[in-house]
Chains A and B, each alone.
Chain A
Amino acid sequence: AQSVAQPEDQVNVAEGNPLTVKCTYSVSGNPYLFWYVQYPNRGLQFLLKYITGDNLVKGSYGFEAEFNKSQTSFHLKKPSALVSDSALYFCAVSPFSSGSARQLTFGSGTQLTVLP
């Protein structure tokens, strides 16, 4: 069975500083990895995904994520945080498969607060 761990429930960072939100995963075979963001009382918005290729993936709103196969990690990063980045962030994993719609597993989420 696949799983995702987001070890930090809460991350605080000052505006303008770099931010990192951590994610580790466990899956059989090669993974598909995703990051989503959720604002209060809203649905999840897709930020970026890793499928294959370059280990550094760039996504929306200046976010990027680094895939590390040996450490089974997919940490979300941004060079300079904005107050508007404050939100709940979810990491998700799906195994490389023939097309099953079922197999996306989410982490428990990390609340990011950017302090002005």
Chain B
Amino acid sequence: DGGITQSPKYLFRKEGQNVTLSCEQNLNHDAMYWYRQDPGQGLRLIYYSQIVNDFQKGDIAEGYSVSREKKESFPLTVTSAQKNPTAFYLCASSIARTGRSNQPQHFGDGTRLSIL
């Protein structure tokens, strides 16, 4: 089945530690996204990428970093600079060719990050 796989499902971070969240898709989608979800705030865009080796900051990129070395993979690193990392992190993908911005985004099942 085609879809998006996020791992791990639960992750704990110690003070001063960087942690990396994995996101893999086999939908052959061009674009990938990372969102942060906090209770009562909906989804906020952290980073997005439209093609391999290119990515753009979203609304809340500070304290996060990404890479896009392969079309299928878009890992997110939560750095020690992110002072309030506890949240539910969602990865998504979509078709992103010109004229196709009306296509829905497909989501993984998320990673819940907590502070030890």
Task: Write the residues of chain A forming the contact surface with B, with a CB cutoff of 8 angstroms.
Answer: 9, 32, 34, 36, 41-46, 49, 51, 90, 94, 96-104, 106-109
Contact = CB atoms under 8 A, between A and B. Distances in A.
A90 B40 contact: no
Given A41-B110, A43-B107, A43-B109, A32 B102 contact: yes
12 contacts: A9-B40, A44-B90, A46-B106, A49-B102, A98-B99, A98-B101, A100-B50, A101-B30, A101-B31, A101-B96, A108-B41, A109-B40
Contacts, number: 73
Contact of B107 (A45, A96, A97, A109): A45
Contacts of A43: 4, 6, 90, 92, 107-110
A94 B45 CA distance: 14
Which of A49, A103, A108 has the largest count of B CB atoms less than 10 A from its CB?
Answer: A108
Which of B42, B58, B94, B107 has the largest count of A CB atoms less than 10 A from its CB?
Answer: B42
Contact of A101 (B33, B43, B108): B33
Describe A's contact surface by its main secondary structure.
Answer: loop
Q: Which size class do B's interface residues fall under?
A: 20 to 34
Contacts of B94: 101
A51 B98 contact: no
Contacts of B110: 41-43
3 interchain residue pairs of minimum CB distance: A43-B107, A101-B31, A99-B98
Contacts of B104: 34, 36, 46, 49
Contacts of B31: 101
